[in-house]
Chain A
Amino acid sequence: MALKMVKGSIDRMFDKNLQDLVRGIRNHKEDEAKYISQCIDEIKQELKQDNIAVKANAVCKLTYLQMLGYDISWAAFNIIEVMSASKFTFKRIGYLAASQCFHEGTDVIMLTTNQIRKDLSSPSQYDTGVALTGLSCFVTPDLARDLANDIMTLMSHTKPYIRKKAVLIMYKVFLKYPESLRPAFPRLKEKLEDPDPGVQSAAVNVICELARRNPKNYLSLAPLFFKLMTSSTNNWVLIKIIKLFGALTPLEPRLGKKLIEPLTNLIHSTSAMSLLYECVNTVIAVLISLSSGMPNHSASIQLCVQKLRILIEDSDQNLKYLGLLAMSKILRTHPKSVQAHKDLVLQCLDDKDESIRLRALDLLYGMVSKKNLVEIVKKLMSHVDKAEGTTYRDELLTKIIDICSQCNYQHITNFQWYISVLVELTRLEGTRHGHLIAAQMLDVAIRVKAIRKFAVSQMSALLDRAHLVASSTQRNGICEVLYAAAWICGEFSEHLQEPQQTLEAMLRPKVTTLPGHIQAVYVQNVVKLYAAILQQKEQAAEPEAAQDVTQLMVERLPQFVQSADLEVQERASCILQLVKHIQKLQAKDVPVAEEVSALFAGELNPVAPKAQKKVPVPEGLDLDAWINEPPSDSESEDEKPKAIFHEEEQRHVKQRQPEADEEELARRREARKQEQANNPFYIKSSPSPQKRYQDLPGVEHIPVVQIDLSVPLKVPGMPASDQYVKLEEERRQRQRLEKDRKKKKKKDKERKGRARRRGSLLSESDEDVAPAQQVDIVTEEMPENALPSDEDDKDPNDPYRALDIDLDRPLADSEKLPVQKHRNADTSKSPEKEHVPVTEKKPKKPKKKEKKLREKEKQPREKEREKEGKEEKPGEDLDFWLSTTPLSAVPPAPEEPGANAVIAAAQEEGEEARREEPADEAEDDDERDPEKKPSKHKKKKHKKEKEERSKDKKKPKKKKPASDGAAEPVENGALDEDPLPPVSSYCLLAENSYIKMVSSTYDIQGSLQKDSQVTVSVVLENQSNSFLKNMELSVLDSLNTKLARPEGSSVHDGVPVPFQLPPGVSNEAQFVFTIRSIVTAQKLKGTLSFIAKNDEGSTHEKLDFQLHFSCTSYLVTTPCYSDAFAKLLESGDLSMSSIKVNGISMSFQNLLAKICFHHHFSVVERVDSCASMYSRSIQGHHVCLLVKKGEKSVSVDGKCSDAALLGSLLEEMKATLAQC
């Protein structure tokens, strides 16, 4: 044995390591493959050895060879061996190899389950990490099912390094094992607020990705994400969240409304282009989702467009590209805003970078107008000539067609020009889009009657030089245009100047080399042409000429009869027989033209592309019903042949069905026609809804003939459409002059004194550009009773459909994740071996060591229970959140200017934004809005709040300030849509027989530099029968606190109340106070004076009151992590003070809740009956508390950056605690 080991290590000396292998390969450039196969043989030998180091080395080399394209899956078993090595060094090599080559088809992968589980629970975090990383690359449904529970446990590991990996890999687990989503989700959600930013970021990443795929299930998380968005400083997290909101807003427009402000602020404030860009993108998404419902967000659009312009103008091509990309999104809904930047877009068309040009092309679609279409297309055509790659050229081609044909050819004023553009495009080599050009030619020729003559002349020219179009094999795609040309010349043959010449062109032998479907159209249209020529010749009394044509047909048609294409052959032989018959008649001098033409009498109208789809299923017709009941299967033994027979028969019967019903159908059709004829509301499809063109002024003045004369298009190979640019300009010039002249005359007649204005300016506007031809675009026909919608179904193969899972429904017992029972999980030593909350029934036996640990465990568990409770009605919660302004949902973070701006902006918007501040009375606080608190630090209390909130919701009307006899908060008249926040903090200020004053401090803003501002809301209720008017509020300012008065008034003046009060009516007024220092509580005396008027006359009355500004009201609940808290305490620049209150009966839990609630603190950490708490003032003072509960007493030690503030706060707290 020892000898073997020695031998092994000697062998090692001569093994190649990875570096040797690389070096060797580099030195064998000539015979690399041979060298490598030699190396693989060596590796195979190494893998056979027992020494794990040798094996690991071999596997490492294999991983390198895999990169070079060698399949290494044959070594899968050895890889697993290396994965299970005890040393991290080897394990890591094994997992790397596995992650590169294992996949769902690797059969030995099932052998890894136990090894991975062992590694996941390894005491070394790096063993666990390596296993997680590897697993993330090759997790299979089986592995996901078997390991889901282990991974979920790791999400609460003590090491953030493991937590973040575990959180991230859960996404993979969900995909492979969707059943795990619901049980794991509560913990995943919890990780959104993990103290470690990496873990938080991972959780955001996973949830955003889940939500992106199935947004509706995650709407209820919107408030949480909103909070993260307004508090996070990690740009990665912000970007993910903002992207997610972009996906959520289409589902919930109210959310968009809420988002606009904070996003706009971010756009203004951020310096990171990536973040700016994503904000702009989401604002666009919001605006799109709001575009119907919201009046006007032009400011936001302007901001976006303006920022995008900056991006596009940047020299960095990446920003340019993204700017254009985002611009195209705005274009869809707000084309006007984008059109203003046409110069920029056109400029980008000349960019050297193809991706930029492509993006600019996308934008062009919205940039064109009647005025500039010709010019833009000219530019594009010149690009077509210059373009090198076919991809870009094809893109140009489709774009030209797109922009010209958009909105029913809205921007085309001259269809001759358009036809020549299309003809020019046929000269493109190697394009794939011949059919597009063909479709356009057909569409225009059919729908624009006025252009047919011109189109036919162009098409016949095209047919004439068909050999050019269809010559080289490369040009295959473009020969599609011949299809259109042949059809147009045939169908509208009356416009042909030289029909015989065209006929000959269409019968050339070369035609037979065209694709079958084109030949078929040729054959069919040759007859139409033939019919036209016959008619012409007979009318001209030239029977010989007519016979000559017939002879030509008889001679040439056989070439088609021989075609291998069935369609061509069939048509050709039919027609040949017909022509031969005609020949016989002609020989007898019988006139035939009339009858032959009758074959093609009548006009073909365009049918809308979706017409077929939209034919409604007639009433009473069940397409799924059996026509003949299938005989039951049970009887026969030889099933297989019979089944086939059945199927065929069914199909057969189905096809025949319409025939059987033919008579009935005809009858019904007749009846329907009758009904329609009698129905005055039935609108028959009539041509030409494009009256607009005809109504335009000046159309009748356009000399159409003139232009026809100057058409130079007969010369093939010349860029004809260019001529139109000049022609068009001249035409418009003439038009303008004409109009000016007309106007002048008019004006001269009417009012000679008035100066001419805007003459030429006016004619520049888009509407003024009159079309060259009188255009009637025939609308496409739809079947009668067409159904309006045709939505496409979702892709049933979408893998994310499996994750479309309702996450708000409470967990059922059956949904527990499978736990491996045989492993001795209860002897866990390390903290990460926590049980999964949802599966745990009983707490473990307490061990002294674990006591602290269990405390930690307990909290999340309770939180989860709470969450389950909450999740019973997520919809309501969301509604509640959405119905309030950002203010209540934003965690107050005054140190961020952005957040402040949000608050300010929200108020400017005039929405009801109320944040209650406790006044000196404490009792009324029980029914306050719990939303404003950060939830995660106050686990137990949270629960209580939940109850309170649900109570609130049930009876919102009953909310009264607890100081009894006080008035109900009164709804503001301006608020019809948004319900009042269901809680109130109003307290009685003063009252007399006339009036009652109820007040609330509802908004506080402050900074160190500036004076702080407090807005106080006062509800005035008229309790008398008198009419109260001329109300005025005057306050005796203190040095520190001043009432903000209208400009120009002195300190002694009062502030008028902006309304009057009829008897029994109440209304709310707001007053702003500026406060210099917040370290002491303030009391202000004031008087409300008013005139009370009743039947007996009017009297001057007044009511004195006292406004109280507590120090607590300047605190803002701010979450704080324990490490930051510890650092703060260590810093030593805080002054300290303490209080102690005796005779406390309340539980510690509720006590903390009260402090949090009334004094705006958050719990940092809680151990047994001791808790550290934190809050922050609007001016940035840190306030730290250590609260300890004794037998019947509570002591509070406070540390604060301002001693006076701390003193005042503790005094106020004492008052609160004394009532507990």
Chain B
Amino acid sequence: MNFMASKQPENSLLGPEADSQRTLYPYVTGTSVVALKYKDGILMAADMGGSYGSTLRYKSVERIKPIGKHSLLGASGEISDFQEILRYLDELILYDNMWDDGNSLGPKEVHNYLTRVMYNRRNKFNPLWNSLVLGGVKNGQKYLGTVSMIGVNFEDNHVATGFGNHLARPILRQEWHENLSYEDGVRLLEKCMRVLLYRDRSAINKLQIAKITEEGTTISQPYSLKTYWEFSAFANPAQGAVGTW
């Protein structure tokens, strides 16, 4: 007696070849992006690592890119999906420029476009596996927003993706205030990036900080943070308890 009915495929609505076209898991990933509003505009920081699972495959991935005249986009998650998003945005900005009407897409508009793209992809069960941070200044108005891979979007005075949500946001919530100067903003971002460097295993000590103001965009050259490892308890941890580390 054969009680076993033939097994229906789980997603019988899609054919077998459709599976290979959907994003099921990310391969090359970037870790957190942290950004905040300051007096003159937006400051955004991200490290330059692209991890392939647990190996650090790429060490010069630029995860912050300028978009049009008024925005900066930072991404964490799958790097190939980020490159695809850059192509979509390239096309969007190109068409906007072709109108040649003196108007240009501001950060709020780009953020809305990205939200729609991410949400629609998620509805088709084929997400772009990224958490995006979109910041910019247009006509004196500062804007900082974020979109996740399932389409959750909001704007705030300071945002972070990935591990930054758990490690950087508590610091930002406590120490951010209106009208931070440029130096204070960079110091605050570096504080967050240093904690991430200590405690996120996929973070590397090579980061870029990007600034956008009414005048334009500047993305810094890659540099590294100073770290401190000289606590005396780290020197000989087993001193008090043999067999621990």
A and B from one assembly?
no
A residues in contact (CB < 8 Å) with B = none
